[in-house]
Structure 1
């Protein structure tokens, strides 16, 4: 099974992916963003626009996830914002057409909630957050479409609650969440630190 976690930048996709991974033995996180960063590294800076616009990114994501889903015995988790319906069809849609069991979830929140989350991340000096802040309205509007269901509204629920929702919807057997509040905060901080984009 592929669990694709969509949503706006700052929506909690990566935190949710690693919460699922932590509580789902045998699972693996495959981040499609890494394919884009790899493509950017091969290009001069002046050509590094939105890597999703590169056909190589969509093809690469499909090929990597197709391979992992074919060879890995456990659940595959992919946290990635995709709001363009054509790009969604070329990635999530193609994987479904190939015969893979793909479960798609979109994490949504009010604009102010998302802005506050991004501002907190901006405290780490992330250059990416300006890009993300500029696209909040477009992302949230586009992701409301039924094609991007199942929607999970995250304004008033925790990351473990989101993971539990996904597990219930997919019948995945998560281990119990035994983190104390302190341990949960430390774990989230570590995930954030590992995904800082300088």
Structure 2
């Protein structure tokens, strides 16, 4: 089974994916962003646009996830924002055509909720400035610019199943996805402080310097 977790940038996809992977024995996390950033780094800076527009990204994601789903004896989790209908068909749709059990979920929240989460994430991204990288807050600014488009597109029926996350926690969102997918997660035995620290570590590991 593949759990594809969609949602706006800053919507909690990565944190939810890691929460499920932590509590679901045998599961693995396969992040399609890694394919995209690898392709992006191959291009001169002036040619670095949205990597999802590259056919090689869409085909590469399908090839890698198809291999993981075929050879790995466990659930595969892919956190990735996809708002273009064509791109969605060439990734999620194509994997379904190949016979895989793909469960797609879109995490949604009100605009102000996502903006607050992006502001919190911006504190982590200050590490880029401290490290002397020329990234600063660019990633978050780009996410804010994309927010209205993402929220509008992802509300469409084709991107169901929709899960609203304004008034819930990451562990509870993971629990909800597991129930809908017919999976059983291990009990969440972490306290609030430990959860916060672990989520901060996840955020730091996913800082992009390019």
Which band: TM-score by shorter chain? over 0.9
- Please list, as runs of the form range in 1=range in 2, the aligned pairs for 1:55-66 lying within 5 A after superposition: 55-66=55-66
Question: Does the alignment pair 1:76 with 2:76?
Answer: yes
Question: Could you tell me how far apart the structure 1 residues matched to 2:85 and 2:176 are?
Answer: 25
Name structure 1 gaps, 5 residues minimum: none
Gaps of 5+ in 2: 127-136
Deviates more, 1:94-103 or 1:125-134: 125-134
| Aligned residue-pair number | 198
The corresponding residue for 1:91 is 91
User: What corresponds to 2:40 in structure 1?
Assistant: 40
Q: CA deviation at 1:127?
A: 2.6
Q: What is the 5 A alignment of 1:16-27?
A: 16-27=16-27
TM superposition shift of 1:171:
1.0
Instruction: Output aligned runs, 1:41-190, within 5 Å.
Output: 41-123=41-123, 124-125=125-126, 126-190=137-201
Hey, what's the Cα distance between the residues in 1 that align with 2:93 and 2:77? 16
Taking the aligned partners of 1:84 and 1:9, their CA distance within structure 2 comes to: 14
* TM score, norm. by length of structure 2: 0.93
Compare 121-130 and 178-187 and name the one that shifted more: 121-130
TM-score with structure 1 setting the length: 0.99
For residues 164-198 of structure 1, give each alpha carbon's deviation from its aligned partner in whole angstroms, at most 9, with x where no partner exists. 00010011110000001111001100100100112
Post-superposition CA distance 1:79-105 (Å, at most 9, x none):
000000000000000000100000000
Q: Residue 127 of structure 1 contacts residue 197 of structure 1 at CA under 8 Å; is this kept in 2?
A: no
CA–CA separation in structure 2 for the residues paired with 1:67 and 1:130: 35
Cα shift at 1:119 = 1.3
Q: Deviations over 1:8-38 (max 9, x none)?
A: 0000000000000000000000000000000
C-alpha RMSD of matched pairs (Å): 0.7
